[in-house]
Amino acid sequence: MLTACEFLPGQRWLSETQGELGLGLVEAVEGRHVRMAYPATGETRLYAMREAPLARVELATGERIRDRAGQALRVLETRSHDGLLVYRCETPDGDVRELPECELDDRLHLNRPRQRLLSGRLDGDRWFTLRYRTWLQGMREADSPILGLLGARVALIPHQLALAAEVAGRDAPRVLLADEVGLGKTIEAGLILHRMLLTGRARRVLIVTPEPLLHQWLVEMRRRFNLRFALFDRGRFEAIAESNPFQAEQQVLCSLDLLVSRPDAGRAVLDGQWDLLVVDEAHHLTWSESGASPEYALVASLAERTPGVLLLTATPEQLGRAGHFGRLRLLDPARFHDYAAFQDEESGYAPVAALAARLLDGAELSEADRNLLRALPGDLDGLSREAIIEHLVDRHGTGRVLFRNTRAAIHGFPERRLLSHALPEPDVYRTLAADAVARLTPERALGADWVELDPRIDWLIATLRALRPAKVLLICAHARTVLELREALLRRAGIHAAIFHEGMEIVERDRAAAYFAAAEDGTQILLCSEIGSEGRNFQFVHHLVLFDLPLEPDLLEQRIGRLDRIGQTETIRIHVPVLTGGPGEVLFRWYAEGLGAFDVICPAASAVFAQLRGSLLAALEDPARTDALLAEGRRLTDRIDAELSAGRDRLLELHSHRPAVSAMLVETIESVDTSGDAAEYLRRFWDAFGVEHEPGPGGSAVVRPGLHMLHETYPGLPEEGLTATFARADALVHEDREFLTWEHPMTRATMELLTASDLGAAAMTLVRDGHGKSPTLLLEMLYVAECPAPPDLQVGRFLPPTVLRLLLDAEGRDRAGEIAHDALQGECLTQNLKLARSVVQSQASRLATLLKRGEGLAHEALGALETDALARMQVLLGAELERLTALARVNPTVRPDEIERLRTRRESLGQALTRTDLRLDAVRLVVMA
């Protein structure tokens, strides 16, 4: 609002005749004169107080402004102290601060649609239309099920989308993502955090990974989600002078090793005030009833003080069930406090899972099923089959905390083929190695000479030659073996190999991976140690050599998972050189015949291993026991497989993948992808703004800064320009092209640029509809209702910034329902200011009446909007609360604090939703002639 009042030094005023001077600042009052400084232009003016063409600047609640440092703010409240104004403002991050008026941005353009229209300061018609579309798009996104999922550069893989939507929809999710290796846990975590960031639910995010995976995460977050994480290694940690370096960044990626090995880093990270913690390869966090590793202890402390926690592991039971329990305990210590009780509980899931499965298959229910249904807590009578299944899945087991998708449930994965090669075990291996386990990697007992007598070397050379030019990944247990193998291949056969092991710096490893991946002059083989290759992506390779075999079945799965992952297009050939007659052969047969773990993933493997570990070790020492071991292994595998698929795993599978939900998500994203809306919006904006764009190769667009752009720069557009695509398929193939969607930072900055400025706030159009009578007027008004609230309340789900469009005819009737905005396209009168101004002058009093009438109508509509939003919020949160409370009675994985948070949220939302701001955002005069 601009008001008249007395002049005082420090006040801000605006020149009514020379708006281009920027905001004025009263420097001094000298007798009857006032001296006004205009810091934006460096000018000073002296005015006679009585006739100064100046208007006092007093901002209204809800106005978007900036301070001198450029920080974007929204006004929450205005207070006056001795004639000077202080604004209470909110930053986009939800922080609240005070801003004295003298700190206002000197270049502040006040968005005054009314004044602009009446003074004939008009923008092009297309800006008005863009403005309207921007608000409409914001409303569309607010409660969209695909928010955060749409803009990721990923193929639409159903189980990932459903999982991400479910987890990101929770208040402070704490879950273990345990999909089988290579099914996309990193992508799932990325989708979850992308949505949480876009909705404001998370701002400070910490990702902790093993050191070798740091760079891969950095790249995946950047290229797939446009998220720029700050990578903290030792150097960076030391280089930041702040007392807590982690406070310097909002999104941080760092290694668990750094946090554990440096006490100062560990302390600092605990003070980081994170909203969301992601821990990759969480099976490294070891726990047993008698103690925990330092890594575990650190993550436990972090998890205790961070509301959202995502733990990722493909092998949740690596190192046993106790470790698995320990990881669940990190997520919810209150629920998982007693290991024995946990084990008991798990054994009770089978009948419930069987019932859920029968319901799912549409089978007739037996009397026993019905009895079980009746015996289960909660009133299931009268519910549909789908609803009963949902209840069963939701209310039993670790369902809400643990997600595990399997290849068996997802389908469409390529096959694996085992190619074993029997080789004689050299005599010296038998005598030198300390015991049978040591003989599994016998070369370690010998010096570097082993390469001269080990038959696996010649076999490897011959195999590589036969497979040439196909790429081959070799994995073995030890880094030393990797180094010696490389040398032997070079010396004996002139074969260059890239290497990858835990002793290498991250940069060296990335270079090696790139050297191997290069299609033309890359190496044929990459030699990896066990740890060195964990979590890495090598799906472009189809041949895997297991130079030795690990004792732990989960490690075998991790190894095969380097190739057997999303994106693998061919049958995977697994080559195993087997040293016959010794423990190597026993272990090979154990995997091949006992567990059947080469051809497909063996879900029972870790449980069978835990039970038969002693027999396996005995057979390694004494191969004569092998047949008995294998028979026992097969029997146990079959039994556990059957139990798992009937019980725990079936429940897990039903809960981890909801086909109906994922189908809806895929369909919705595809329809937005194919609508071309975002492309059309951006192109219109670029044309209006002066950004150059032209068709590029293969349907792409080449975008460059134009010579006469409205502003000097355009957000996210480098001087040299960029190539962009609007097509998902194209974006997946051409990673060098920006994937422009509604969620891309460039699109979001464009939308912000429009709504935060006054572009298109006043416009005038001449529509010639040939009615032959004297011209008539229509006044189109866009009101925006905004509900100020901290971002984590997510008020936008119920009342997003909402545009109310009014179209008043000369008699003040609202015709918006009859005449759409798009139907009123005509001749923009911006170019003919003389005509525009004469229309305004001649209609000034009618316009004033219409504007007033519009305000009344908009306020009426606002009341309805608030009532409606409140009712929807009560219904939705009420149902969520009811569900959680009911769930808590039967399934203790629901944490009491979850329920409490939801309750508090409902209350705060109830208050916030009655404090909506309403303002006129834009106005357009349509002359019908």
Ligand X SMILES: Nc1ncnc2c1ncn2[C@@H]1O[C@H](COP(=O)(O)OP(=O)(O)OP(=O)(O)O)[C@@H](O)[C@H]1O
How far apart CA 88 and CA 77 sit, in angstroms, is 5
Strands 72-81 and 64-66: antiparallel
The residue among 220 and 921 lying less far from ligand X, judged by its C-beta, is 220
Q: Degrees (nearest 5) of the Cα angle 514, 518, 520?
A: 160
x/- binding map, residues 522-561, to ligand X, per CB under 6 A?
A: -------------x-x-x---------------------x
Q: Which residues contact 231 (CB under 8 A, 6 or more apart)?
A: 214, 215, 218, 253, 254
Report, in Å, the least distance between residue 415 CB and ligand X. Answer: 18
Find out whether 191 and 160 touch, Cβ atoms under 8 Å.
Answer: yes
Residue 438 to residue 441: CA distance in whole angstroms: 6
Complex with ligand X: residue 245 or 535, whichever CB lies closer: 535
Quick check: helix, strand or coil at residue 407?
helix
Determine if residue 182 is labeled as part of a ligand binding site: yes
Q: From the CB of 149, what's the least distance to ligand X, in Å?
A: 10
Site string for ligand X, 478-517 (x = CB under 6 A): ----------------------------------------
Q: How far is the CB of 412 from ligand X (least distance, A)?
A: 13
Query: Mask: binding to ligand X, 264-303, rule CB under 6 A, as x and -?
Result: ----------------------------------------
Q: Among the candidate windows 183-191, 292-300, 410-418, 792-800, which touches ligand X by CB under 6 A?
A: 183-191
Shortest Cβ 850–ligand X spacing (Å): 52
* Binding residues with ligand X: total (CB under 6 A): 20
Tell me which DSSP letter residue 590 carries.
I
- Cα 458 to the chain's mean position, in Å? 48
Choosing from 160, 199, 747, 830, the residue that interacts with ligand X (CB under 6 A) is: 160
Nearer to ligand X, 151 or 182 (CB): 182
Residue closer to ligand X by CB (options 106, 220) is: 220
Q: Does the protein bind ligand X through residue 157 (CB under 6 A)?
A: yes
The interface region with ligand X, picked from 182-190, 285-293, 329-337, 580-588 by CB under 6 A, is 182-190
Stretch in the footprint of ligand X (CB under 6 A) among 508-516, 525-533, 565-573, 848-856: 565-573
**Shortest Cβ 682–ligand X spacing (Å):** 24
Residue 157 or 252 having the CB closest to ligand X: 157
| Interacting positions 190-209 with ligand X (CB under 6 A) | none
Q: Of 149, 164, 183, 197, which one interacts with ligand X (CB under 6 A)?
A: 183
Q: What residues contact residue 492 under an 8 Å CB cut-off, 6+ apart?
A: 451, 457, 461
- Give the other-Cβ count within 10 Å of 791's Cβ: 18
Question: Which region, left, alpha or beta, applies to residue 916 given φ > 0 means left and ψ of -120 to 50 means alpha?
Answer: beta
CB of 478 to ligand X, least distance (A): 21
Which of 112, 185, 478, 744 is close enough to bind ligand X by CB under 6 A? 185
- Interface pick for ligand X out of 138, 182, 577, 760 (rule CB under 6 A): 182
- Say how far apart CA 817 and CA 861 lie, in whole Å: 14
For the CA atoms of 207, 212, 216, 219, what is the dihedral angle to 10 degrees?
A: 70
Q: Is 834 annotated among the ligand-binding residues?
A: no
- For residue 726, report the phi and psi dihedrals to the nearest 5 degrees: -105, 0
Can you tell me the distance from the alpha carbon of 570 to that of 503, in angstroms, rounded to the nearest whole number? 32
* Contact pick of 186, 405, 747, 802 for ligand X (by CB under 6 A): 186
Residue 232 near residue 252 (C-beta atoms within 8 A) = yes
**Helix, strand, or coil here: 544?**
strand
The reply to whether 687 sits in an annotated binding site is: no
Cβ of 782: how many Cβ atoms within 10 Å?
Answer: 24
- Helix, strand, coil % over all residues of the chain, rounded to 5: 45, 20, 35
CB of 188 to ligand X, least distance (A): 7
Instruction: Give the residue with the Cβ less far from ligand X, 283 or 400.
Output: 283
DSSP secondary structure code for residue 594 in this structure = I
Contact region for ligand X (CB under 6 A) — 185-193, 270-278, 297-305, 498-506? 185-193
Q: How far apart are CA 303 and CA 312, in angstroms?
A: 14
Distance CA 652, CA 646 (A): 10
Residues 305-364 that bind ligand X (CB under 6 A): 314
Closest CB 602 distance from ligand X, rounded Å: 16
CB-wise, 56 or 543, nearer to ligand X? 543
Residues whose CB falls within 8 Å of the CB of residue 186, separated by 6 or more in sequence, listed in order = 216, 217, 220, 280, 312
Rounded Cα distance between 253 and 240, Å, is: 15
Closest CA to 731 of 224, 380, 353: 224
Question: What's the full length of the chain, in residues?
Answer: 929
Residue closer to ligand X, measured from CB, 173 or 647: 173
> Bridge-partner residues for 919, per DSSP?
784
Minimum distance, C-beta of residue 314 to ligand X, in the bound complex (Å): 4
Report the residue from 24, 148, 158, 184 that binds ligand X according to the rule CB under 6 A.
184
- C-beta closer to ligand X: residue 535 or 594: 535
Contact with ligand X (CB under 6 A) among 163, 187, 252, 579: 187
| CA atoms of 182 and 537, how far apart (whole Å) | 8
Q: Find the binder of ligand X among 76, 155, 418, 517 (CB under 6 A).
A: 155
Tokens of 578: 């087997």
Spell out the residues 6+ positions from residue 123 whose beta carbon is closer than 8 angstroms to its own. Answer: 758, 759, 760, 761, 762, 763, 830
* Minimal distance, residue 119 CB to ligand X, in Å: 53
Give residues 646-705 in contact with ligand X (rule: CB under 6 A). none
> Which of residues 643 and 730 has its CB atom nearest to ligand X in the complex?
730
Contacting range for ligand X; rule: CB under 6 A; set: 176-184, 496-504, 545-553, 891-899: 176-184
Rounded Cα gap, residues 480 and 476, in angstroms: 10
Verify binding: residue 572, ligand X, rule CB under 6 A: no
CB 125 within 8 A of CB 761: no
- The rounded distance, in Å, linking the Cα atoms of 851 and 140 is 27
Q: Which two tokens stand for residue 430?
A: 């038998």
Q: Which DSSP string do the residues of 3-27 spell out, in sequence order?
A: E-----TT-EEEESS-GGG-EEEEE
Minimum Å gap between C-beta 881 and ligand X is 33
The least CB distance from residue 185 to ligand X, in Å, is: 4
Does 185 carry a binding-site annotation? yes
CA distance 767 to 769: 6
Q: Provide the minimum distance between the beta carbon of 375 and ligand X in the complex, in angstroms, as a whole number.
A: 38
Instruction: Select 450 or 538, whichever has its Cβ closest to ligand X.
Output: 538
Distance of CA 331 to the CA centre of its chain: 20
- Least Å from the CB of residue 512 to ligand X: 17
What residues pair up with 578 in beta bridges, in sequence order? 422
Q: Does 272 belong to an annotated binding site?
A: no
Q: Is 58 exposed, middle or buried (0-12, 13-18, 19+ CB in 10 A)?
A: middle
| 566 is a contact residue toward ligand X (CB under 6 A) | yes
Q: Is 180 annotated to bind ligand? A: yes
Stretch of residues binding ligand X (CB under 6 A), selected from 181-189, 351-359, 696-704, 914-922: 181-189
Q: Closest separation between CB of residue 168 and ligand X, Å?
A: 15
Radius of gyration (C-alpha) of the chain in whole angstroms: 33
- Residue 157 vs 285, nearer CB to ligand X: 157
Q: Give the residue with the Cβ less far from ligand X, 630 or 727.
A: 727
Binding residues: 179-186
Enumerate binding residues for ligand X (CB under 6 A).
154-155, 157, 160, 179, 181-187, 314, 535, 537, 539, 561, 565-567
Binding residues for ATP: 179-186
